[in-house]
Structure 1
Amino acid sequence: MKVSRFLLAIVAVALGVSCASTRPATHSATTAFGKLRLIGEQTIPHNMPFMGTVTGGLSGIDYDASRQQYYMICDDRSELAPARFYTAKLYFSGQSFDSVRFTGMTTLLQQNGNPYPGAKVNPSLTPDPEALRYNAQKGCLVWSSEGERIVNTKDTILTNPGVYEISTDGRYLDSFALPSQLRMQATENGPRRNGAFEGLGFTPDYRHTFVSLEEPRYEDGPRADVGDTTALTRLIKYDNKTLQPVAQYAYRLEPVAYPAIPANAFKVNGISDILVLSDHQLLSIERSFSSGVKDCTIKVFLVDLHGATDISHVNSLKTATGVKTVTKSLLFDFASLGKYIDNIEGVTFGPVLPNGHKSLVFVADNNFSVAEESQFFVFELIP
């Protein structure tokens, strides 16, 4: 989801909200998954030019160990430049995070081989890129689009969300089958606008892909709100050979962290990315934002699918009975860092550190707004 579409940054600046955090500063957290220790942080310059584009809108990140490089998808909807992804090198050790260097830019191509058009050219074909992963087994990339849903007296534009296989040079290869419940509709059914396919990841054996819906479908109930724990969204499990969905699971979202200012202004909490650990465990990032509060509230959860109900044939979680949601436990709250945290939308394991521990890399989408930052955070995962 692009918070800039709702003029959130303008609201925050107009209200003069401070970036300072008054939360207590600690730099690690421990769960059964392990302990996260912050190594360092980097921020790239606003609208940094690169290969004829401006960088920003970094909504997904993945690490390719064979090439020792990162893939990062940009959520520019072919407005500033054609829809694209970047490659980059991140330079860090177990003690410090020194720099980020962009190394390449690749245009995402439609099935006909052409770049995707912007909304002013053909809004029905304009993508909304959000997540990107490298499939080392197939040697290809997989990316997701949230689609589009505009329904008003002037226009009705319905573009389904999608998940696509592409080559590393951006060429279309194939697409994942879309469950019927996730088709965009002009009525209040199916996915909400900007609330669809925000995160994805593969099981370590590349047998399955999981895709996360950022927010509840209309039939599944209301969006997250302050003090409300009833919002339910979905995780979709795919077979990577057939590209067909094989299961769906209900995921209970946290409440929105803070009331909006003013009270009727925009606020949101949803899943901004996932990182799959096994066939039944994954990490989820929940990102909460409220107008008038500059920081985003970013929480990372360890999610377990054991015992969760397969809801593939459940059309409405709002009315269904006997549905068991996935379980989750808090792994890390970015508020514990005691610093300004922006719109984190991507996570990946990076290279193994010299001491043998895994690294974990997060990236923030700045929405191409001068009021926001393209942040990178690197952590050590201590078993």
Structure 2
Amino acid sequence: MTSSLARRACAVALLLTSTLAPAVAAAAPPDGGGRPSERAAQARLLGEKIVPYKLEFQGTTVGGFSGVDRNRCTGEYVFISDDRSYLQPARFYTAKLDVDAAGVHSVDFTGTHPFLQEDGSVYPSPSAGDGKAVDPEEIRVDPRSCHYWWAQEGDRPKAVGAGPVIQPSVQFAGPTGAHLGQFRLPSNYEVTMEERGPRRNQAIEAITFGAQGRIVTSAVEGPLIQDGPVPDLEHGALVRVTRQTRGGRVLGQFAYPLEKIFAESDPTSPWAPDTGVPSLLAFPDDPDRYLVLERTWVAGSGYKIRLYDATTRGATDVQAMDSLAGRPVVAMRKKLVADFHTLGLSTVDNTEGMTWGPDLPTGERSLILVSDDNFADDAVTQIVALAVR
């Protein structure tokens, strides 16, 4: 969910309060420096499909898709909606996608379920003020059990006393949304009112399974407060990427170099540029290699969506570093795979989720991405299929 959500005056708006300032130092070049592998991944467009605006399905409003994954047990896809129970209870959808080398032919929703709390009740909206609201952003299908792991950003109040602190979390859910437990996140993902931890609306949005489900990797969307300021026109920033066992033991934490802002913001807009990592995806055959999605919105210029091939190999393990600000760490290396403005899409919107799709006869692997329309009539729910070599 982005600051453009507030710009569009949607009922589920969140105000991004970050300010612009110079970013932290990184030993690796932030703009594609280094090669993650001997040959970096390449991508081309297969096709796209636009889901009708505010499509009604089983008594719910389809939209706000912030994450997607493929369920190997059913062959279907699961989409998470970032509706914070304002329209209907926080929920997910299942769907059949007809995708092949010729494009995206159809999107057929097959079910929807709310996420449930431990007591079996649905999650309340933030307006309840009881500190139990969630902000769903990412969903993954456990490759072992086919249960769901879903990430939610929680909430950092705009000021002390302005509301309850809701901690980010990764929770487990059954096929109909029943609560099955919670994953232990690294301690520096915790929101504190001592101006430490994730910024408001820039907490955990990205999780992925690697090494046949043995490793869980997550990323915060933007730099932690103690790690330095958010990107501006001159500087990028470092965001933390954490590798853990399924039991939560931290195996390593690394600094991913986020790009600088790509254009000047419209000076008449009240909204600051919004940029971050909404999704990452492990390569199936390399436990140190990831596709990383970078999403940026700038008032007057719209969205820029870029996909990178990145690796933790050779990067500094920063888990013991309290702050990255000014530290000469060796960041993750990355290489540009695709700039969405060059793919030939009908529009470039708020793309937030991605998952591997089926293999293609060409030897390529399909990649499915989805955009979050923020339930706004000037945005789209766009399902994109790429072929990745």
On whether the aligned pair clears a TM of 0.5, the verdict is: yes
Give the aligned partner of residue 285 of structure 1: 293
Once residues 149 and 39 of structure 2 are traced to their aligned partners in structure 1, the CA distance between those partners, rounded to angstroms, is 30
Q: Write the deviation string for residues 168-227 of structure 1: whole angstroms up to 9, x where unpaired.
A: 221111211132222112232111011011111000411100011100011000011123
1:355 positional shift: 4.2
Q: Write the deviation string for residues 280-327 of structure 1: whole angstroms up to 9, x where unpaired.
A: 000000001011223x100000011111111111111004x3421111
Segment of structure 1 superposing worse, 158-167 or 337-346: 337-346
The answer on whether the counterparts of 1:175 and 1:243 sit within 8 Å (CA) in structure 2 is no
Give the aligned partner of residue 18 of structure 1: none
Once residues 113 and 310 of structure 1 are traced to their aligned partners in structure 2, the CA distance between those partners, rounded to angstroms, is 40
Once residues 362 and 309 of structure 1 are traced to their aligned partners in structure 2, the CA distance between those partners, rounded to angstroms, is 30
AA partner of residue 7 (structure 1): R
1:209 equivalent to 2:212? Answer no
Give the aligned partner of residue 135 of structure 1: 142
Q: How does 1:9-48 map to 2 (within 5 A)?
A: 32-48=39-55
The answer on whether the counterparts of 2:7 and 2:271 sit within 8 Å (CA) in structure 1 is no
Give the aligned partner of residue 367 of structure 2: 360
The answer on whether the counterparts of 1:346 and 1:362 sit within 8 Å (CA) in structure 2 is yes
The answer on whether the counterparts of 2:44 and 2:343 sit within 8 Å (CA) in structure 1 is no
Give the aligned partner of residue 257 of structure 1: 262
1:81 positional shift: 0.4
Structure 1: where are the runs of 5+ without partners? 11-30
The answer on whether the counterparts of 1:93 and 1:354 sit within 8 Å (CA) in structure 2 is no
Q: How does 1:172-321 map to 2 (within 5 A)?
A: 172-229=179-236, 231-240=237-246, 242-262=247-267, 265-277=271-283, 278-294=286-302, 296-319=303-326, 321=327
AA partner of residue 289 (structure 2): Q
Give structure 1 regions of 4+ aligned residues with deviation exceeding 6 angstroms: none
SS of equivalent residue, structure 1 residue 91? strand
Segment of structure 1 superposing worse, 331-340 or 83-92: 331-340
Once residues 4 and 114 of structure 1 are traced to their aligned partners in structure 2, the CA distance between those partners, rounded to angstroms, is 31
The answer on whether the counterparts of 1:349 and 1:359 sit within 8 Å (CA) in structure 2 is yes
Once residues 211 and 185 of structure 2 are traced to their aligned partners in structure 1, the CA distance between those partners, rounded to angstroms, is 23
* Residue from 63, 76, 79 that aligns with 1:69: 76
Once residues 160 and 210 of structure 2 are traced to their aligned partners in structure 1, the CA distance between those partners, rounded to angstroms, is 44
Segment of structure 1 superposing worse, 188-197 or 243-252: 243-252
AA partner of residue 49 (structure 1): E
Once residues 317 and 145 of structure 2 are traced to their aligned partners in structure 1, the CA distance between those partners, rounded to angstroms, is 28
AA partner of residue 172 (structure 1): H
1:123 positional shift: 4.8
AA partner of residue 93 (structure 1): D
The answer on whether the counterparts of 2:90 and 2:136 sit within 8 Å (CA) in structure 1 is yes
Structure 2: where are the runs of 5+ without partners? 11-37
1:149 equivalent to 2:156? Answer yes
The answer on whether the counterparts of 1:257 and 1:289 sit within 8 Å (CA) in structure 2 is no
Q: Write the deviation string for residues 103-137 of structure 1: whole angstroms up to 9, x where unpaired.
A: 11011011222111111224511101001010121
1:163 equivalent to 2:173? Answer no
Once residues 244 and 225 of structure 1 are traced to their aligned partners in structure 2, the CA distance between those partners, rounded to angstroms, is 34
The answer on whether the counterparts of 1:156 and 1:186 sit within 8 Å (CA) in structure 2 is no
Once residues 332 and 319 of structure 2 are traced to their aligned partners in structure 1, the CA distance between those partners, rounded to angstroms, is 14
Segment of structure 1 superposing worse, 186-195 or 153-162: 153-162
TM-score, scaled relative to structure 2: 0.88
1:9 positional shift: 7.3
Q: CA RMSD in A?
A: 1.8
Identity %: 34
Q: Write the deviation string for residues 131-167 of structure 1: whole angstroms up to 9, x where unpaired.
A: 1010121231111011101133762321111111221
Give the paired residue count. Answer: 358
Once residues 306 and 333 of structure 1 are traced to their aligned partners in structure 2, the CA distance between those partners, rounded to angstroms, is 24
1:8 positional shift: 5.1
Give the aligned partner of residue 3 of structure 1: 3
Once residues 252 and 119 of structure 2 are traced to their aligned partners in structure 1, the CA distance between those partners, rounded to angstroms, is 31
The answer on whether the counterparts of 2:2 and 2:274 sit within 8 Å (CA) in structure 1 is no
Give the aligned partner of residue 336 of structure 2: 330
Give the aligned partner of residue 347 of structure 1: 354
Once residues 85 and 206 of structure 1 are traced to their aligned partners in structure 2, the CA distance between those partners, rounded to angstroms, is 22
1:93 equivalent to 2:116? Answer no
1:239 positional shift: 0.4
Give the aligned partner of residue 27 of structure 1: none
Once residues 356 and 182 of structure 1 are traced to their aligned partners in structure 2, the CA distance between those partners, rounded to angstroms, is 38
Q: Write the deviation string for residues 35-82 of structure 1: whole angstroms up to 9, x where unpaired.
A: 322111110111100111101100000011331100110000011000
TM-score, scaled relative to structure 1: 0.89
